[in-house]
Chain A
């Protein structure tokens, strides 16, 4: 769309939405949120940027093919379940790792890695669909 207002605001809005999507993703375990809704917000950021700028510019900005991002997400989500194999418990049993870092407690877990995988899958798939729809027909 060729309006000055939208072309100016689209990159800023996309950046804010991407940051918010990561916030929603990382908050997801104990409060509302998670990988799926975070991925949806990030994909809509890509869609807004694609309408405001152009599809080629979006493809240059995210560097990787969206579908390969989705593939990495599937591998990540599956690999997070394999961690439990080292502890002699059933597949996908949660493993937690808590440590002190800079005066605050950081808690890492396999559900978080699984959630990041879901985020990448949703982001890759939905933005691949959105970019394919926005691309001018040959």
Chain B
């Protein structure tokens, strides 16, 4: 049962990643790409948590936490640059 749910959520994460990746490549404006990048990092964090569950390694959860915290900083800096760097 747990395996079934893991596979289902893995498929969902892959679908979401593909959709966000399309927006990242196609997005007409830079703002679209920044939002798509943020979405991609959040989906990646979900993927890392799923891997931690599947492989039964608690340590991967810390990787997900650090990645979530640091990617937030990256998006903030990109947003500030787009705003005109005031």
Could you tell me which A residues sit within 8 Å of B by CB distance?
A: 1, 6, 13, 17, 20, 24, 31-33, 37, 41, 44, 47-48, 51
Known: A1-B79, A1-B80, A1-B83. A48 touches B73 (CB 8 A): yes
> Complex formed: what's the CA distance from A24 to B62 in Å?
9
26 A–B contacts, CB within 8 A, in A order? A1-B76, A1-B79, A1-B80, A1-B83, A6-B76, A13-B69, A13-B72, A17-B69, A20-B65, A24-B62, A31-B59, A32-B59, A33-B62, A37-B66, A41-B66, A41-B69, A41-B70, A44-B69, A44-B70, A44-B73, A47-B73, A48-B73, A48-B76, A51-B76, A51-B77, A51-B80
CB-CB contacts below 8 Å: B30-84 with A: 59, 62, 65-66, 69-70, 72-73, 76-77, 79-80, 83
Contact B69 A20 (CB under 8 A): yes
Which chain A positions have C-beta within 8 A of B83?
A: 1
Residues of B within 8 A of A33 (CB): 62
Q: How far is the CB of A133 from chain B (nearest CB, A)?
A: 9
Residues B72 and A48 in contact, CB atoms below 8 Å apart: yes
A40 and chain B: residue at smallest CB distance = B70
Chain B residue nearest to A23 (CB atoms) is: B62
A40, chain B: closest CB distance, angstroms: 8
Instruction: Give A17 to B65 CA distance when docked, in angstroms.
Output: 10
Give every chain A residue within 8 A of B59 (Cβ-Cβ).
31-32
Roughly how many angstroms separate A35 CA and B36 CA in the complex, as a whole number?
A: 33
Contacts of B62 in A (CB 8 A): 24, 32-33
A70 to chain B, nearest CB (A): 20
A107 shortest CB reach to chain B, Å:
21
Minimum Cβ distance to chain B for residue A117 (Å): 21
Give the chain B neighbours of A17 by CB distance below 8 A.
69
